[in-house]
Amino acid sequence: MNGPPPAALVAAYLRAHYRVEAAEGPFTLRIGEYCAPLQHWHERWAVNRSAFISAANPFSVPTDAQQNASAHERLLERLATAGLHAVPGAGVDPDGRWIPERSVLVAGIACAEALRLAAAFNQYAIVFADADAVPQLCWTAAPSAG
């Protein structure tokens, strides 16, 4: 990794809304908040965990749309090769300072596997939820204090 994310970026990740475009209806993940639609989605796919992952904007540095689209396609290919089901989503800044970041919610993926995948795309973090359907940030590198 390129070192830990700065504290202001950590705060942005914690504040973000992680929008999922599931076939049964869209829902939003918020860090630390129980999400009933996520629990129903887990049940629908017969899994007890999931991870919200992006390949866009490596190290949270704004990157051009073409590069982000290419990285997203590579992420989808890796998920398909691994036999993992994913639905589209977007990381959204509720304050509108960041452009929504194309992402996916992956059914049944282990946290360690999701972190390795995120690190391969130079991402600082994923959003992971297990059977309790409470999304948590999991870092590929420890956040900095300053």
Total domains in the fold of the chain: 1
Predicted pLDDT of residue 101: 95
| Strand partners of residue 50 | 107, 129
Q: What percent of the chain has pLDDT over 90?
A: 84
Pick left, alpha or beta for residue 32 (phi over 0 → left; psi -120 to 50 → alpha; otherwise beta): left
- Residue 129 belongs to a domain: yes
- Residue 102 belongs to a domain: yes
Domain range for 101: 7-139
Contact criterion met (CB below 8 Å) for 23 and 37: no
Q: What pLDDT, in 10s, does the model give residues 19-61?
A: 999 999 999 999 999 999 999 999 999 999 999 999 999 988 9
Q: What pLDDT, in 10s, does the model give residues 66-89?
A: 999 999 999 999 999 999 999 999
Closest by Cα among 142, 138, 145, 141 to 29: 138
- Residue 146 belongs to a domain: no
Q: Residue 26 has what DSSP assignment?
A: -
Predicted pLDDT of residue 18: 98
Predicted pLDDT of residue 3: 64
